[in-house]
C-alpha cells in the first residue's frame, strides 16, 4: 500500500491519500485528543504529541501539525500510523462505525433560517454542495452551512481550511462572489 501526500493552502496541514475510502459519508474533524478518543486512528495521530488537528474526508485524512513542528520530522510518523491502520483494516471509529456519534460544531450558536427564505436557502445549500465543497475537499478540508439571515450566509471551515491563512480570502472573494452571482439575495458571507 502506498499513501500519497499533498500540500494544502494551510502550511501547517498535509493531506494524506490512502487510495481507498476513509469516510463512507460526511466528514469528521477532531481538534483535541479528547475528541479523538472515539477514533483509534485519530487518537493514534494525536498520541504523536505534535498533532493539533485531524480531519477525515471521503478519501483523505488531513493532519495539522503543532506550531513549530517540521513536517520533515512528523510526516514519516503519520504515514506509518496511517499504513498500519489501513493495512490492518481496523475500524475508523470505536464500535466500528460513526452512526452513534453526534458531532457538534465548536460554536453551537443557531444562525437560523427564516422559513420565508426556504428557496434561497435551498439554492445556497445546492451551490455549496455542488461547487464549493468539492473544491474545498481538494485542499484537505470541508465547509459546513450554518445559516442564512438578512442576506448573510454563515459557514464554518473545517480540516485544513480551519485556521488556514487564506481561509478568509476563500470565504470573502471565492465563495461570497460565487453565491452573490447565483443568488442575488446574498449580500455577505461570514465565518461561523
What does the pLDDT look like over 43-93, one tens digit per residue?
999 999 999 999 999 899 999 999 999 999 999 999 999 999 999 999 999
CA distance 158 to 145: 11
> What's the chain's average pLDDT?
85
Phi, psi angles (nearest 5°) of residue 29: -115, 140
pLDDT tens readout for residues 149-191: 999 999 888 876 676 666 677 777 788 888 999 999 999 988 8
Residue 34: per-residue pLDDT: 95
* Beta pairing class for 188-191 and 152-159: parallel
Burial of 151 (0-12, 13-18, 19+ CB in 10 A): middle
Residue 105: per-residue pLDDT: 44
Residue 9: per-residue pLDDT: 83
pLDDT tens readout for residues 6-15: 988 888 999 9
Residue 10: per-residue pLDDT: 86
Q: SS3 for the chain, per residue?
A: CCCEEEECCCCCEEEEECCCCCCCCCCEEECCCCHHHHCHHHHHHHCCCCEEEEEECCCCEEEEECCCCCHHHHHHHHHHHHHHHHHHCCCCCCCCCCCCCCCCCCCCCCCCECHHHHHHHHHHHHHHHHHHHHHHHHCCEEEEEEEEECCEEEEEEEECCCCCCCHHHHHHHHHHHHHHHHCCCCCEEEEC
Phi, psi angles (nearest 5°) of residue 126: -65, -45
Residue 87: per-residue pLDDT: 92
pLDDT tens readout for residues 85-135: 999 999 999 875 544 443 444 444 567 788 889 999 999 999 998 888 888
For 82, residues 6+ apart whose C-beta sits below 8 A from its C-beta are 3, 16, 18, 41, 61
The model's pTM is 0.71
User: How big is the chain, counted in residues?
Assistant: 192
Residue 148: per-residue pLDDT: 92
Residue 99: per-residue pLDDT: 41
Amino acid at each position: 500500500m502506498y499513501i500519497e501526500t499533498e500540500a494544502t493552502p494551510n502550511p501547517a496541514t498535509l493531506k494524506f491519500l490512502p487510495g481507498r475510502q476513509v469516510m463512507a459519508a460526511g466528514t469528521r474533524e477532531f481538534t483535541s485528543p479528547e475528541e479523538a478518543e472515539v477514533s483509534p486512528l485519530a487518537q493514534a495521530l494525536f498520541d504523536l504529541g505534535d498533532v493539533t488537528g485531524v480531519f477525515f474526508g471521503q478519501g483523505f485524512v488531513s493532519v495539522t501539525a503543532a506550531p513549530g513542528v517540521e513536517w520533515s520530522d512528523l510526516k514519516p510518523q503519520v504515514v506509518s500510523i496511517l499504513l498500519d491502520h489501513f493495512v490492518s483494516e481496523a475500524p475508523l471509529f470505536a464500535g466500528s462505525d460513526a452512526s452513534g456519534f453526534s458531532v457538534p460544531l465548536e460554536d453551537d450558536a443557531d444562525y437560523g433560517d427564516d422559513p420565508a427564505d426556504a428557496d434561497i436557502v435551498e439554492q445556497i445549500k445546492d451551490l455549496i454542495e455542488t461547487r464549493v465543497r468539492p473544491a474545498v475537499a481538494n485542499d484537505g478540508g470541508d465547509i459546513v452551512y450554518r445559516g442564512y439571515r438578512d442576506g448573510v450566509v454563515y459557514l464554518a471551515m473545517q480540516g485544513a481550511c480551519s485556521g488556514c491563512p487564506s481561509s478568509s480570502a476563500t470565504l470573502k472573494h471565492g465563495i461570497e462572489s460565487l453565491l452573490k452571482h447565483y443568488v442575488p439575495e446574498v449580500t455577505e458571507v461570514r465565518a461561523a
